Amino acid sequence: MKKRNVILAADIGGTNASFGLVDISGKYPVIIHKARFDTKGSSDFSCLLGGYLNTMADDGFEAPKKACFAIAGPVEKNRGRLTNTELTVDAKEVIANSPLAEAIVINDFAAVSYAVPGLQKKDLNIVKNGKKEPQGPIAVIGAGTGFGKSLLVWDNHTEGYAVAASEAGHCDLPAHTTEELRFIEHTKKRLFQKEPAEWETALSGRGLENIYAYLKARRPASGKGEQTEKIPGLRAEEIGARRKTDPLCKETFRWFETFYARAAKNTALENLATGGIYIAGGIVTKNQDMFTSMFNAEFMDSLRHKDLLKRIPVFSLKNNDASLIGCAIAMGSGGTKSNKGKKNR
């Protein structure tokens, strides 16, 4: 019987951390064990990793020698800090304080991107029809705790896609209407005053809450008109749960869909993403039917490039484990190796 080749994979987000054991012995990675932990308020990654190693051992699995950690933030020299938490993941520190002998740290949307070329029809929903160009650039975007974006570009030398991460979620948020400008100003007054609004201001879990808060404040109260003070509102999960029954939640998701389509269009044009746009992130996986004809109309709203945008397909990911699969694929490019057991030379 062929011995399994297993790595530890993890997707570390601002709200949750998903850990898994991935068998990479076959043609495509297979997840054989996984667990999830809360990351809110956590500042010590070793505790999260230790928790999973204990869970794994309790379930009868041995610790693997290799690991790939995908984090929601920029990565440099195999180390990164999550943008929306105090959590830092450092490959060298992980190796020094765990059974692991090799580890790499990558951006979370880079991890999803590694998985995209191998996704099957069952892993995807069609948001907008189009025709993918073989070996054309592919873009991945998605809203969760924050907003992420990454790009895949075909490399003729390796005959595969190379992945480039980004922090595009922190680029300035564009407004097209007076009311969208009012939303931005209202949110700035509530939350951050002078700093510019980012894509995450609208496209994230907090973004849903920001849109809802604005729409709620816009309603006249006791004849005083719009309210600018901080008003208690619903959490993102509650807005999603009520989006089909509560009028304000419905409108919140219409705004959210508009901003999503605008982000997808900008990404398509910025990168000539003729290989398609793939939408990932926790919000879309939980609300697969959130996209309507409004998305297509906003996506196609271009002065000069309607024909180009018409050809580009848009998909949403149904596979919640794409990031873990992507970590396994990324691990094939190598990592930070341990010196454990080696003599000094």
The pLDDT tens digits along the chain (345 residues) read 457 899 999 999 888 899 999 999 888 899 999 999 988 777 789 999 999 999 999 999 999 999 999 998 899 999 998 887 888 999 999 999 999 999 999 999 999 999 999 998 999 999 999 999 999 999 999 998 889 999 999 999 989 999 998 989 999 999 999 999 999 999 999 888 778 999 999 999 999 999 999 999 987 654 444 443 444 579 999 999 999 999 999 999 999 999 999 999 999 999 999 999 999 998 999 999 999 999 999 999 999 999 999 999 999 999 889 999 999 999 875 444 444 443 333
Name the one residue in this structure whose structure tokens are 């019987």: 1
Q: What is the largest distance, in Å, between two alpha-carbon atoms of the chain?
A: 80
Q: How far apart are CA 108 and CA 275, in angstroms?
A: 20
Q: What is the pTM of this model?
A: 0.88
Q: How far apart are CA 61 and CA 74, in angstroms?
A: 31
Measuring CA to CA, which residue among 252, 280, 241 is closest to residue 143? 280
Measuring CA to CA, which residue among 182, 203, 189 is closest to residue 252? 203
Is residue 276 classed exposed, middle or buried when 0-12, 13-18 and 19+ CB atoms within 10 A define those classes?
buried
Strands 16-23 and 6-12: antiparallel
Cβ atoms within 10 Å, residue 297: 11
Cα dist from 179 to 146, 154, 211, 216, 261, whole Å: 23, 40, 11, 14, 18
- 87 Cβ contact partners less than 8 Å away, ≥ 6 residues apart: 12, 39, 42, 43, 44, 45, 48, 71, 81
Domains and CATH numbers, the chain: 6-116+324-337 (3.30.420.40), 120-318 (3.40.367.20)
**Helix H or strand E segment including 112:** helix 108-115
DSSP assignment of 94-111 equals HHHTSS-SEEEEEEHHHH
Q: Is residue 264 within 8 Å of residue 279, measured between CB atoms?
A: yes
